[in-house]
Structure formats: structure tokens, C-alpha cells
Chains A and B, each alone.
Chain A
Amino acid sequence: MNTTPIAARTPPKIVIKRPWNWQRITGLAVLAVYALLGYFMVRMVIVGYDPEFFGKYLPRMFHGLWITVKLVVVSIVLGALLAFPIALARNSRSRVLSGFAFCYIYFFRGTPLLAQVYLIYYGAGQFRPFLVEWGLWGIFRDAYFCALFTFTLNTAAYQAEILRGAISSVANGQWEAAKALGLRPTVTYVKIILPQALITALRPLGNEIIFMIKGSAIASIITVFDLMGETRLAFSRSFDFQVYLWAACMYLAMVEALRRVWDRLEKRLTRHLQRIAD
């Protein structure tokens, strides 16, 4: 019997020929335009490299980045705290409470954030005697706190709407089962409804944070020196377009980082819902 092994043959090389059609050519042409634009931008940064300019404005922009992060984190957290009662009011059976929450949400979602910021920052000046009397003038005089206050109210409206949708997406049977077990409404809410609702709310909440990061640039218009504010200041002093490119990179990095973190978080929090791969 012949026991010599069969000589291994190398498998034939698979060559996938992709035809040249107008789609590929268009795609390549668009990519070439990107590359060209990218080349000019990089060249602008390299040719325009000036250690003094970098040393002067880059630290300021990083400080602005820190202000932006603070604005976003604080307003998102405070907005979340505010969103709970608003969402509950919106879902409540009381006509008055529900109507009030509806008006609040409709106003803040229906008007531009910039107009809201103007309304609160410049409008507060008109109520100065009143605010001084209440000891609140210190807050409303400061552009940073005004921006923070407006962003909080704004994101509370959006988050309340997200939360409301998520709460109503929890199946009715969960309520009924909890009632059948004799659980109190508060316990039902905290231990049964909210954990399920928050998982549904996770994705839209991530989007809301991204919108807040982008929207926070508006604070620069009322003279808050966040990332955008520092960028506009640097541009108005140097007329160097590259500061906008730096800012764009920073914003993109922030948004991309948040997206990645959120994906991780979502995977972690929904691990009981995922099937284990065979």
C-alpha cells in the first residue's frame, strides 16, 4: 500500500478583477478631491508653522476645550436630574402637570438654542433688581453660568422626551406583574421600569450628548471662552485659518471618543441580552 503522503499543492491564487466603471471612477475622483483638500490643509499648517503662534494659542485652546467639557458634563448631568420629574409630569394623569411639561418640552425643542441663550443672558439684565434681591444676580451676570443654565434647561427637555419614550416602551405587563406581586409604585418604578427604560434610552442619550458637545459651541457667541470662543479669538487676532482646523480636529476627536466609549458602555450594559457566540 502506498503510504506516501500526497504532496500539498498550493491553492490557485484567487484574483478578483474589479472592472473599471463610472462608479469606481467617481469614487476615486471624490477621494482625490479629499486628498487634495487634505494636502492643502496640512501644507497650510506646516508652511504656517510658527512656534510663537503655537505656544500662544494652543494652550489657550486646550483651556477652552476644558471649558467645553465642563459645560457639557455639568449641563448633561443637571439636565438628567431635571428630566426625571419632567418626564414623570408628562406621563402623569393630571392634565395641568402634563400640559405644563408638554409646553416646556415644546418650547425648548421648538426654538433655536441660540435664541434661548440670548433670551436668558440678555433678558436677565432686565430683571436685575429682582435677581439682586434674590441673590441670583451673580449667576445671571456671568456668561458662563448663563450658558450653563440655558444648556441645562434645553437638554432637560430633550432628555425628558427620550426618557418618556423609553418609559412608555416598557411593556404594560411589567406594571401589571409588579402590581400582582403587591409592589408599591415607587419600587416598581425604581427597580423594574427604569432599569429597562434606561437601556432603551441609552442610544438616544448618547446622541443627545453629542448634540450637546456640538451645541456648546454656541456659548462662544455670548463671550464664553470655550473651545469655539478661544478659536474665534485666535482667528480675530491672527487671521490664520488653521486655528479653525485645529478646533475641527478637537471637536471631531471629542465626538469620536464619546461614540467609542458609548459603544463600549452599551455593550457592557446589555450583555445579558446578547447571545453568546457559538
Chain B
Amino acid sequence: MDLFSQLAWGSTGWGDELAAGAVVTVSLALATLPFGLVLGFLLALARNSEVPELQHAGNVFTTIFRGLPELLTILIIYIGLDIMIAEVVSLVSDERWELNKFFAGMIALGIVFASFASETLLGAMKAIPQGQPEASRALGMSNFNTWRTVIMPQLIRYALPGLSNLWLVLLKETSLISVIALPDLLRMTNIAVGATKEPFFFYSVACLTYLAFALISSIALGAIERWANKGEMERGMA
């Protein structure tokens, strides 16, 4: 039997099912990214602040979620959130409220992403000399303007390589969501393997798809990096 005919679109092959899974994988990663970035940024701000309470709050969070296996984090968040929501809902009504798997996965992956991103962002914040915010304050710039025009452009430049790496890691970690039966690329591949008994071929296809995502991402990230370093390059050439 021709293996590649199994990838056909429609009812004769698994092409459309796998593509649907790939869409779930990519949209999960894309949905996690903004949530993780914002949370990671807040964590980095907290850890960078001079207030010990905030520092502790940030450090405890990142230490725990950087040390736990991602699989365990996903299960704890998924089951823990489910229990919590059930408790809260049972106070109000008798209805059973099912936790959305996509949402739970997004929260769990976002928390892990944020913990690692806060490390990168903290390093980037520390790399900016203290004199720069002081100088902009001396020039009478508002806090917001200082952040927007002085700190942010440099922060992005310093943090981008680390964050790019984390994005590639996130893309791979979405595969763990298949254990809570979200129909992502790997889960759909599992189903295809169960039906066709061609594990080597289908898992190879899945692996190559992940590689393709990584390749596309690194091309896009390279472009973003060039954009962020535009000022540096021009200065270097002058």
C-alpha cells in the first residue's frame, strides 16, 4: 500500500485530520504567547523591584514552575482548576461545569513560559544601565515615556534571543497537551496510528511537521531580530 496516499485529504486519508491537529497546536502556542509574555513581564518587574514582598512573590512562583516537569504542571493545573471550579460552581448551582481543555493548556503552558521568560527579561532589565532612567527623569520625561522610548527598545533587543528560544520550546511543549486529550497534532497522529498501524510513518510526519514549524519560526524570529537590532547595525556601519 502506498504510504503517502494515507495523507490524502478527505475521507480516504488522514491529511485533513492531521492538518486540523496542526492548527490546534499552532493556535495553542500563539494563544499562550501573549499570556505568557505579559505574566513573565509582570514577574520580571516584581523580581526587579526594590520591594522585598514583590521580590518574594515573584521568586516563589518562578522557582516552583521552573522546577516542576511540564507534564506535572499541566496535570496539576488541569485537575486543580477543575476541582476549584467545581467547588465554586457547587456553591451557586447544581450544574456540572466542564473546564475547557484548550484554556487549561493555555494557562499551564503560559505559566511555565512566563517563569522562564521572567528570567530572560530580568537579565535584560539588569543589562540596562541605571543611569539611563535617571537621565530621562532628569530630562523631565514621564515614567511611561521613559519605558516606551528608552527602556523598551533595549529590553526587546537584549531579551529577544532568549525569548526566541523559549518560543521554540513552547512550540514543542504543546505536544504534552495531548495527554489531556486535546486534539493537537500529536493526538491526531496517535489516532491515525491506531487506525492504520503505521506508527513509524505517521510519527515521522508529525516530527517533520514540528521541524517545519521550528524552521518557519526561526526565519520569522530572525527577521524580528534584525528589525530590533536595526539601530545597532546602522551605528556599526557608520
Which of A30, A107, A220 is the most central at the interface, judged by chain B CB atoms within 10 Å of its CB?
A: A30
Q: Which of A1-38 contact B (CB under 8 A)?
A: 21, 23-24, 26-28, 30-31, 34
Residues of chain A within 8 A (CB-CB) of B198 are 126
Does A111 contact B211, Cβ atoms closer than 8 Å? yes
Q: Which of B2-53 contact A (CB under 8 A)?
A: 46, 49, 51-53
Residues of chain A within 8 A (CB-CB) of B215 are 110
Q: Which size class do B's interface residues fall under? A: 35 or more
Residues of chain A within 8 A (CB-CB) of B49 are 23
Residues of chain A within 8 A (CB-CB) of B211 are 106-107, 110-111
Q: Which of A207-250 contact B (CB under 8 A)?
A: 210, 213-218, 220-221, 228, 231-232, 235, 241, 244-245, 247-248
Does B199 contact A228, Cβ atoms closer than 8 Å? no
Which of B54, B64, B211 is the most central at the interface, judged by chain A CB atoms within 10 Å of its CB?
A: B54
Does A244 contact B207, Cβ atoms closer than 8 Å? no
Residues of chain B within 8 A (CB-CB) of A126 are 198-200
Closest residue to B193 on the A side, CB-wise?
A122
Question: In angstroms, how far is the closest chain B Cβ from the Cβ of A217?
Answer: 4
Q: A190: CB under 8 A from chain B?
A: no
Does A119 contact B210, Cβ atoms closer than 8 Å? no
Contact with B along A68-110 (1 / 0, CB 8 A): 0000000000000000000000000000000000000011001
Q: Which of B153-183 contact A (CB under 8 A)?
A: 168, 172-176, 178-179
Closest residue to A215 on the B side, CB-wise?
B69
Given the interface pairs A112-B175, A255-B67, A256-B67, the reply to whether A107 lies near B207 with Cβ below 8 Å is yes
How many angstroms from the CA of A107 to the CA of B175 in the assembled complex? 16
Q: A181: CB under 8 A from chain B?
A: no
Question: In angstroms, how far is the closest chain A Cβ from the Cβ of B209?
Answer: 9
Q: B57: CB under 8 A from chain A?
A: yes
Does A214 contact B51, Cβ atoms closer than 8 Å? no
Given the interface pairs A119-B200, A125-B199, A126-B199, the reply to whether A247 lies near B56 with Cβ below 8 Å is no
Does A112 contact B214, Cβ atoms closer than 8 Å? no
Residues of chain A within 8 A (CB-CB) of B72 are 217, 228, 231, 244, 247-248, 251
Question: In angstroms, how far is the closest chain B Cβ from the Cβ of A10?
Answer: 28
Q: B206: CB under 8 A from chain A?
A: yes
Does A218 contact B71, Cβ atoms closer than 8 Å? yes
Q: Which of A114-141 contact B (CB under 8 A)?
A: 114-116, 118-119, 122-123, 125-127
Closest residue to B198 on the A side, CB-wise?
A126
Q: A252: CB under 8 A from chain B?
A: yes
Does B203 contact A122, Cβ atoms closer than 8 Å? yes
How many angstroms from the CA of A37 to the CA of B17 in the assembled complex? 40
Q: B206 is contacted by which of A21, A24, A115, A241 (Cβ under 8 Å)?
A: A115
Residues of chain B within 8 A (CB-CB) of A114 are 175-176, 178, 186
Question: In angstroms, how far is the closest chain A Cβ from the Cβ of B112?
Answer: 10
Residues of chain A within 8 A (CB-CB) of B173 are 112
How many angstroms from the CA of A221 to the CA of B207 in the assembled complex? 17
How many angstroms from the CA of A198 to the CA of B190 in the assembled complex? 40
How many angstroms from the CA of A106 to the CA of B198 in the assembled complex? 24
Interface residues of A (CB under 8 A from B): 21, 23-24, 26-28, 30-31, 34, 106-107, 110-116, 118-119, 122-123, 125-127, 210, 213-218, 220-221, 228, 231-232, 235, 241, 244-245, 247-248, 251-252, 255-256
29 example contacts (A-B, Cβ-Cβ < 8 A) are as follows: A23-B51, A24-B51, A27-B51, A27-B54, A27-B57, A31-B53, A31-B56, A107-B207, A110-B211, A112-B186, A115-B186, A115-B189, A115-B210, A118-B186, A119-B200, A122-B193, A126-B199, A126-B200, A127-B200, A214-B70, A218-B176, A228-B72, A244-B80, A245-B76, A248-B64, A248-B72, A248-B76, A251-B67, A251-B72
Contacts beyond the supplied A24-B51, A34-B60, A126-B200: 10 A-B pairs with Cβ under 8 Å: A23-B53, A114-B175, A118-B189, A122-B199, A126-B198, A220-B71, A221-B179, A244-B72, A248-B72, A251-B68
